[in-house]
A and B are shown apart, each in its own frame.
Chain A
Amino acid sequence: MHEAMVAESIIESILAQVPKKNGRVIKVVISCGQINALNDEAMEFAFDAVAEGTICKGAQLKIRHIPLKAICKTCNKKFDYDLYNPQCPKCSKSDIKIGEDAPLLLEEIEFEEDTD
């Protein structure tokens, strides 16, 4: 459950970034790679728990999973690498050059200011 630590870091970053405290965060968009992957259910659970009592309470969490680009060294086919089935979808060889995995990123938040 390292998602708990990821959730804590997200909330910490948001609290450091939001312009004013008189409002609330309604949406949070994060992204992850395939090796640096997150489990959606565990992440949502951890986020909701850590958001409790902060301006992020009740915010919707959107997790974008960024594919890991790979190229087959045998047939030069470019494809999205599947960690659970690491072979070329065209020639089935597994001599593959893998690109850089996307990091865990806090992309953007949607903030709603109090009007009163």
Chain B
Amino acid sequence: MKIKIEKRILAKNEDYASANKKFFKRNGIFCINMISSPGSGKTTILEQTAKAMKNKIKIAVIEGDLYTEYDANRIRKTGLQAVQIETKGACHLIAEQITKAVHKLDTDNLNVIVIENVGNLVCPSDFDLGELARVVVLSTAEGDDKCAKYPKSFAQADVLLINKIDLARHLDFKIAKVKRDARKLNKDLKIFEISAKTSAGMDKWFDWILKVATENTEI
């Protein structure tokens, strides 16, 4: 006996994601989902962003890792609110975890929530968390062939941060190649070349955050 079902497999995640999105819009919070490989510098970028934005906008961070509270503690040291999600082995965050994490935040007068997803350039891109923008980080130490090898993360992002540009010349990392590959997948992608360590290029990223936090419309 054949039974037609026609049901979305990730319907539960989609329901949570759409509820999250409604919550963010209703409360004027711009939510960013940040995706990258482990070690690309996401947390350092957020530490620098926290310091630079301190007197301008109110940001909170949701950290996703398999284990430990390390990253949330690093963010808290900058004075921001941070909630740590430990996935206990899962390779990506799901929207329900974000719903629960947001409940732990004081969202009064909050302008931006940044979700630092589990370090993984593959699986997180399949799970909508209800974010209003997606930022992918690629660091020069990972090699300049990653856009072509992992197209999904780049095809679905709104912003690409090329981090650790201070190391590019030591690593034969061709920034122009990455930009070309990324734009081929996603011609509207905004690309910022930065070094969270030396602060090079970070002002443009800060300007972008300020702009989206103020306008607060989906990208």
Q: How far, in angstroms, from A84 to B184 measured CA to CA in the complex?
A: 10
Please state if A6 and B10 are interface contacts (CB–CB under 8 Å): yes
Taking the nearest CB of chain B, how far is it from the CB of A64, in angstroms?
Answer: 13
Q: How many inter-chain residue pairs (CB < 8 Å) link A and B?
A: 78
Known: A35-B152, A94-B187. A108 touches B5 (CB 8 A): yes
Please state if B91 and A1 are interface contacts (CB–CB under 8 Å): yes
* Nearest opposing residue in chain B for A110, CB measure: B2
Please state if B184 and A86 are interface contacts (CB–CB under 8 Å): yes
Task: Render B117-157 as a binary contact track against A, CB cut-off 8 A, 1 for contact.
Answer: 00000110011000000000000000000001001100110
Q: How far, in angstroms, from A83 to B148 measured CA to CA in the complex?
A: 9
Q: Is B56 an interface residue (CB 8 A)?
A: no
Interface size on B, residues (CB 8 A): 28
Please state if A112 and B1 are interface contacts (CB–CB under 8 Å): yes
Please state if A9 and B9 are interface contacts (CB–CB under 8 Å): yes
Taking the nearest CB of chain B, how far is it from the CB of A16, in angstroms?
Answer: 9
Q: Which A residues contact B (CB, under 8 angstroms)?
A: 1-2, 5-6, 9-10, 13-14, 17-19, 30, 35-37, 83-84, 86-87, 94-95, 103-113
Give 18 A-B pairs besides A9-B10, A9-B12 with Cβ atoms closer than 8 angstroms: A2-B92, A5-B94, A9-B9, A10-B9, A13-B9, A35-B152, A35-B156, A36-B126, A37-B152, A83-B152, A83-B155, A104-B8, A104-B9, A105-B7, A105-B8, A106-B8, A112-B1, A113-B1
Q: Which B residues contact A (CB, under 8 angstroms)?
A: 1-12, 90-92, 94, 122-123, 126-127, 148, 151-152, 155-156, 184-185, 187
